[in-house]
Protein backbone atom coordinates (compact mmCIF):
# COMPACT_ATOMS: atom_id res chain seq x y z
CA UNK A 1 0.00 0.00 0.00
CA UNK A 2 1.31 3.42 -0.97
CA UNK A 3 1.76 6.11 1.64
CA UNK A 4 -0.34 9.25 1.39
CA UNK A 5 1.51 12.29 0.09
CA UNK A 6 0.36 14.72 2.81
CA UNK A 7 1.79 17.97 1.39
CA UNK A 8 0.08 17.38 -1.96
CA UNK A 9 -3.13 16.37 -0.21
CA UNK A 10 -3.13 19.56 1.86
CA UNK A 11 -2.61 21.70 -1.25
CA UNK A 12 -5.49 19.95 -3.02
CA UNK A 13 -7.75 20.41 -0.01
CA UNK A 14 -6.84 24.11 0.14
CA UNK A 15 -7.58 24.51 -3.57
CA UNK A 16 -10.93 22.73 -3.20
CA UNK A 17 -11.93 24.87 -0.21
CA UNK A 18 -10.98 27.98 -2.17
CA UNK A 19 -13.09 26.81 -5.11
CA UNK A 20 -16.12 26.13 -2.92
CA UNK A 21 -15.73 29.47 -1.16
CA UNK A 22 -15.52 31.29 -4.50
CA UNK A 23 -18.72 29.63 -5.73
CA UNK A 24 -20.54 30.54 -2.51
CA UNK A 25 -19.33 34.14 -2.74
CA UNK A 26 -20.27 34.37 -6.43
CA UNK A 27 -23.83 33.12 -6.04
CA UNK A 28 -24.79 34.40 -2.59
CA UNK A 29 -22.76 37.51 -1.83
CA UNK A 30 -20.54 39.53 -4.16
CA UNK A 31 -19.44 38.45 -7.63
CA UNK A 32 -16.22 40.45 -7.46
CA UNK A 33 -15.19 38.72 -4.25
CA UNK A 34 -16.04 35.37 -5.82
CA UNK A 35 -13.77 36.15 -8.76
CA UNK A 36 -10.95 37.22 -6.46
CA UNK A 37 -11.13 34.07 -4.35
CA UNK A 38 -11.52 31.98 -7.50
CA UNK A 39 -8.13 33.21 -8.66
CA UNK A 40 -6.58 31.57 -5.61
CA UNK A 41 -7.26 28.08 -6.98
CA UNK A 42 -4.73 28.12 -9.84
CA UNK A 43 -2.28 30.02 -7.63
CA UNK A 44 -2.44 27.32 -4.94
CA UNK A 45 -2.07 24.56 -7.52
CA UNK A 46 0.84 26.34 -9.22
CA UNK A 47 2.58 26.74 -5.87
CA UNK A 48 2.11 23.03 -5.17
CA UNK A 49 3.54 22.09 -8.58
CA UNK A 50 6.49 24.43 -8.13
CA UNK A 51 7.33 23.08 -4.69
CA UNK A 52 6.99 19.48 -5.86
CA UNK A 53 9.29 20.06 -8.83
CA UNK A 54 11.98 21.55 -6.60
CA UNK A 55 12.14 18.52 -4.32
Tally of residues, the chain? 55
Q: Which domain holds residue 55?
A: 22-55
Count Cβ atoms within 10 A of the Cβ of residue 3 and give its class: 0-12 exposed, 13-18 middle, 19 or more buried: exposed
pLDDT along the chain (55 residues), means of 10: 86 97 96 95 96 84
Q: Quick check: is 31 in a domain?
A: yes
| Closest of 14, 11, 2 to residue 51, by C-alpha | 11
Is residue 44 within 8 Å of residue 14, measured between CB atoms? yes
Q: How many domains does the chain have?
A: 1
pLDDT score recorded for residue 18: 97
pLDDT score recorded for residue 37: 95
Q: Quick check: is 42 in a domain?
A: yes
Amino acid sequence: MRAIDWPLTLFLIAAFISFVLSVVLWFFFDKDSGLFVGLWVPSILALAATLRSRS
